[in-house]
Amino acid sequence: MTDCLFCRMVAGEIPADVVHETERTLAFRDINPQAPTHVLVIPKDHHATAGLLVGAEPQLLAEVVAAAHAVAVQEGLATAEAPEPGYRLVFNSGPQAGQTVHHVHGHVLGGRDLTWPPG
């Protein structure tokens, strides 16, 4: 059994509020949302960071980004034509970025005005 939280969600061992799924990706609501929409998008296979994933399987990172955009459309944050009203896709990588779960995940954030730069 893996001790990776997100691998265990993929395996169905820990419940997840799934909003989108493809053969190789899963998207579920963050347990501690920082915006009206806060969804995490992951590859089902374990890779620690986006940088490691793009080195190992670039097509899979593209599928994660495509799934994130599909979630944004589904949540009313974008259309096929335009990023309106808009959303943010964030990959925290490493300790200074605050990464706490070491299975790559894109945060899809939206539904309110987002400040830049983030804290």
Residue 103 annotated as catalytic: no
Binding residues for Zn ion, total number by CB under 5 A: 5
Among residues 78, 62, 72, 60, the alpha carbon closest in space to that of 27 is found at: 72
* Separation of alpha carbons 68 and 51, rounded Å: 17
**Interface mask toward ligand 5GP for 20-59; x: CB under 6 A:** --------xxxxx-------x-------------------
Other Cβ atoms closer than 10 A to 10: 21
Question: Scanning residues 32 to 71, which ones bind Zn ion (CB under 5 A)?
Answer: 46
Q: Which residues contact 99 (CB under 8 A, 6 or more apart)?
A: 49, 92, 93
Q: Which does 100 bind (CB under 5 to 8 A by kind): ligand 5GP, Zn ion, none?
A: ligand 5GP
Can you say how many angstroms the Cα of residue 39 is from the centroid of all Cα atoms in its chain?
6
Q: Does 103 bind Zn ion (CB under 5 A)?
A: yes
Tokens of 34: 């920082």
Applying CB under 6 A, which residues contact ligand 5GP?
5, 16, 28-32, 40, 92, 98-101
Catalytic positions are 105
Site for Zn ion, rule CB under 5 A: 4, 6-7, 46, 103
